Amino acid sequence: MIVAIANQKGGVGKTTTAVNLAAALALRGRKTLLIDLDPQANSSISFLDLTTVQKSTYDAIGDTTCSLESIIKETTVPNLWVAPARIALAKLESRLVGELDAHFRLKDKLAELGSEYPTIVIDCPPALGLLTVNALVAATHILIPIQSSYFALEGTDDLLETIEKVRLRPNPTLRILGVLITMHDRRTALARDIREQIQRVFGSKVFKTVIAKSVRLEESPAYKESIFTFAPDSSGATDYYSLCEEVIERVEARTS
Ligand code: ATP
Ligand code: MG
């Protein structure tokens, strides 16, 4: 499975979800590759020291002679590898202007990798541009994190429209794996209202697992750890482990 974590809204929990879902899948024994497609490189920084990174997803996607395999780095999490990003990725769109295969670059590079990494998680940037489209073209599934906030559903129409466009041509089998409510505060009435509102719009697509607000989840990247080693007893660890179980269930239910 290749899961793109996407929502063009900024700060909704894409990276936190990509990092901890990838770690959970790896800890469950699945050989997992986390691909960072965000020039901010937040998911790369969550596991790697960027000064050790010479080549990034910018090179692997922008340069036909640079393989994805050659940029992949091992992490301290067993079974987890990262294809890191660098700020240069912000220049990719202008570099690929006029290239007819611009939207297919990541898909083609993944095809070259073969079945080396059976589980792939892609962290997308907060935009619906070329990078996110590359992820959606290459992915088997998309997971949409939605922050439990008053403006939660703002922009989801544009995202769904982009998914439909990608489905129409380059990737008809792309599936919405689910919508994930993040940064939820169970104590407030507003959060409960927002959850109901999201459920009205997305119905059974909404994951049963809800990610609660947790300071531990905010802290763990600074220590270059996933939540599972940084704070294994925290709600964040329980929530992301439960998401991982639900993700596996949903993927397997559809393919069996
Ligand atoms: P961007 O669009 O900039 O890439 P993003 O969608 O990847 O952002 P994150 O970076 O995962 O979002 O999260 C935004 C901020 O919220 C970060 O500081 C992160 O640590 C924090 N955060 C994410 N999830 C939670 C949570 N469940 N509880 C508390 N803080 C959280
Ligand atoms: Mg991010």
Residue to mutate (ligand 1; options 149, 218, 243; most atoms within 8 A of CB): 218
Closest ligand to Cα 42 = 2
- Checking DSSP bridges between strand 32-36 and strand 80-83, what pairing results, if any? parallel
Closest ligand to Cα 17 = 1
pLDDT tens per residue, range 157-195 = 999 999 999 999 999 999 999 999 999 999 999 999 999
pLDDT tens per residue, range 87-113 = 999 999 999 999 999 999 999 999 999
User: Is pLDDT above 90 for 254?
Assistant: no
User: Is pLDDT above 80 for 256?
Assistant: no
Residue with CA closest to ligand 1 atom 11 = 13
Q: Where are the alpha helices (DSSP H) in the chain?
A: 14-27, 42-45, 57-62, 92-95, 105-113, 130-138, 156-168, 189-202, 215-219, 227-230, 235-255
- Listing from the earlier edge strand, what are the strands of the sheet with 2-5? 73-74, 80-83, 32-36, 119-123, 2-5, 141-147, 175-182
Give which of 221, 194, 240 is closest to 82, Cα–Cα.
Answer: 221
Residue to mutate (ligand 1; options 7, 8, 12, 15; most atoms within 8 A of CB): 15
Tokens of 246: 């639900």
Instruction: Compute the distance from residue 11 Cα to the ligand 2 centre, in Å.
Output: 7
Residues in contact with ligand 1 (CB, 6 Å cut-off): 10-16, 38, 40, 42, 126, 182-183, 211, 213-214, 217-218
Please state the atom number of ligand 1 nearest to the C-alpha of residue 17: 11
Model pTM score: 0.97
Residue 150: band (very low, low, confident or very high) from pLDDT cuts 50, 70, 90? confident
- Average the pLDDT over 42-71 and give the result: 96
Who's near 188: CB < 8 A, 6+ residues apart? none
Residue to mutate (ligand 1; options 16, 46, 220; most atoms within 8 A of CB): 16
Give which of 142, 147, 146 is closest to 162, Cα–Cα.
Answer: 142
